[in-house]
Amino acid sequence: MQNYDIESQPSCNDELNSDLLTVDEARARILDAVNMIRDTHTAALRDALGQVLAADVVSPIDVPAYTNSAMDGYAVRAADLPGEGTRTFLVAGTSWAGRPYIGPIGPGEAVRIMTGGMMPEGMDSVVMQEQVEIDADNNSVRIGTGHSAGQNVRAAGEDVEAGQTVLSAGRRLTAADIGMLASLGLGKVSIYRKPRVAFFSTGDELRAVGEPLCPGEIYDSNRYSIYGLLKKQDVEIIDLGVVRDEPGLIEAAFREAAARADVVLTSGGVSVGEADFVKDTLEKIGTLSFWKIAMKPGRPVTFGHIDKAVFFGLPGNPVSVMVTYFQFVWPALVKMSGETAVPAVYTVRAVTTTALKKRPGRYEFQRGYLQQTGPGEFSVRSVGAQGSGILRSMSEANCFILLVPDQTRVEAGNEVLVQPFQNLL
């Protein structure tokens, strides 16, 4: 997770941060506290695409399985090629892809061969058809100089040797991977079960889309952004809807979610307001690990366990939900899925074209729009208002501008560190 570490220096505002965790500390603790899911099953190749391999794959065959031609042309013995001038070769027959030539071949003879055609016994080189002169009777070809032994031939086992490990457990299978597995004749592989994630929103003010809003109510948008994030990570999703701010209902929802899923995810109800029961409930029926992180947007986040399930209580504010998901839930789900090569979250340096305002003492993820201004050169601008509830600016953004605790104002024209999330969120 090297690329993920974002806090190079500790903050100088220690009195502000004394009981707060840094983002990197919080992430490290979470990664420490979650385990990969070890359940496996066998899946057909196409169903395994994008899934995580649960066992090393050893090739049962050589690839290519037989020595064959890389070109349309004429298979010859290198020893027969002329040292000077040209030489005429009688064409003994044709080796097609899938239909090898198996007849006898006399000394100084050639075999017409197609791309992928099996090299006839004793032949070791192929001369491209563009480089020969075919005699009028079509029975012989004339070949000149400039050829080398072994040219245009693909040797058996050149790509993969039988017994060689081609993919290791923990690999998330790509299109190329399943194509390669097919080339080995393998139709099935062992994969890990996807993490099961149950999630719900909390709040008396929440309404489902499609219903009219009464005074004081808002639409439940978090369930949609969380759904989108989970979908992108390709986990199994259990949507438990909206739960009202009543301790009994929240507890029942926690128990149901923990019984059905590996991960329980909630939004809202984690601040210290009177109707915020998430933390209390977690303390009552599970274990609370931490909940205060020096970041904006994002705090507070609750993390812990209910029985065997991992619990994330994300904030209610729509932007905070996405920021905390990306920083904490995303890497935890990567680890739980069994993926060993954690996809890098890259940061790039970019010149900000807008001035950035920030309070010291906390890490800030400001929403920005990153653009390439030249090869390897980037600029970034703030997408505007940075309130934790302003989902529109999240939707307009393609990156987070990372501002470390010590930073305050950044003037336009200065370089900042940026975390693009286009392909991740």
Helix, strand, or coil (residue 132)? strand
Q: Residues in the site for Mg ion, rule: CB under 5 A?
A: 203, 268-269, 316
Which listed option, Mg ion, ligand AMP, none, makes contact with residue 318 (CB within 5 to 8 Å by class)? Answer: ligand AMP
CB nearer to ligand AMP: give 11 or 324.
324
Q: Least Å distance between CB 278 and ligand AMP?
A: 8
Q: Of the listed pieces 99-107, 118-126, 144-152, 269-277, which binds ligand AMP according to CB under 6 A?
A: 269-277
Q: Least Å distance between CB 277 and ligand AMP?
A: 10
307, 256 contact by CB (below 8 A): no
When asked if residue 327 is in the footprint of ligand AMP (CB under 6 A), the reply is no
Tell me which of 270, 294, 350, 404 binds ligand AMP, using CB under 6 A: 270
Q: In what order do the strands lie in the sheet with 309-314?
A: 236-243, 196-202, 263-267, 309-314, 302-306, 287-290
Site string for ligand AMP, 55-84 (x = CB under 6 A): ------------------------------
Tell me which of 267, 366, 379, 386 binds ligand AMP, using CB under 6 A: 267
> SS3 sequence, 51-120?
CEECCCEECCCCECCCCEECCCEEEECHHHCCCCCCEEEEEEEEEECCECCCCCCCCCEEEEECCCCECC
75, 119 contact by CB (below 8 A): yes
Tell me which of 120, 170, 195, 268 binds ligand AMP, using CB under 6 A: 268
List binders of ligand AMP among 336-395 (CB under 6 A). Answer: 389
Residue 324: which of 18, 20, 30 has the closest Cα?
30
Tell me which of 108, 248, 273, 413 binds ligand AMP, using CB under 6 A: 273
Residue 83: which of 169, 143, 39 has the closest Cα?
143
When asked if residue 222 is in the footprint of ligand AMP (CB under 6 A), the reply is yes
Q: Least Å distance between CB 36 and Mg ion?
A: 33
**Cα 294 from Cα 387, distance rounded (Å):** 16
**Cα 120 from Cα 92, distance rounded (Å):** 11
When asked if residue 280 is in the footprint of ligand AMP (CB under 6 A), the reply is no
In the DSSP assignment, the letter for residue 248 is H
Burial 218-250 (b: 16+ CB within 10 A, else e): eebbbbebbeebbeebebebbebebbebeeeeb
Q: Least Å distance between CB 320 and ligand AMP?
A: 8
Q: Of the listed pieces 27-35, 58-66, 167-175, 263-271, which binds ligand AMP according to CB under 6 A?
A: 263-271
Q: Least Å distance between CB 321 and ligand AMP?
A: 8
Q: How many other CB atoms are found less than 10 A from the CB of residue 148?
A: 9
Helix, strand, or coil (residue 28)? helix
Burial 15-28 (b: 16+ CB within 10 A, else e): eebeebbbbbebbb
Q: Least Å distance between CB 36 and ligand AMP?
A: 29
- The angle, 0 to 180 degrees and rounded to 10, between the axes of the packed helices 247-260 and 278-285 is 60
CB nearer to ligand AMP: give 316 or 368.
316
**Cα 36 from Cα 337, distance rounded (Å):** 6
Which listed option, Mg ion, ligand AMP, none, makes contact with residue 386 (CB within 5 to 8 Å by class)? Answer: none
List binders of ligand AMP among 282-311 (CB under 6 A). Answer: none
Residue nearest to ligand AMP (CB): 316
CB nearer to Mg ion: give 269 or 405.
269
Q: Of the listed pieces 59-67, 89-97, 316-324, 345-353, which binds ligand AMP according to CB under 6 A?
A: 316-324
CB nearer to ligand AMP: give 315 or 338.
315
Tell me which of 24, 205, 217, 256 binds ligand AMP, using CB under 6 A: 205
Binding site for ligand AMP (CB under 6 A): 201, 203, 205-206, 218, 220-223, 267-271, 273, 276, 315-318, 389
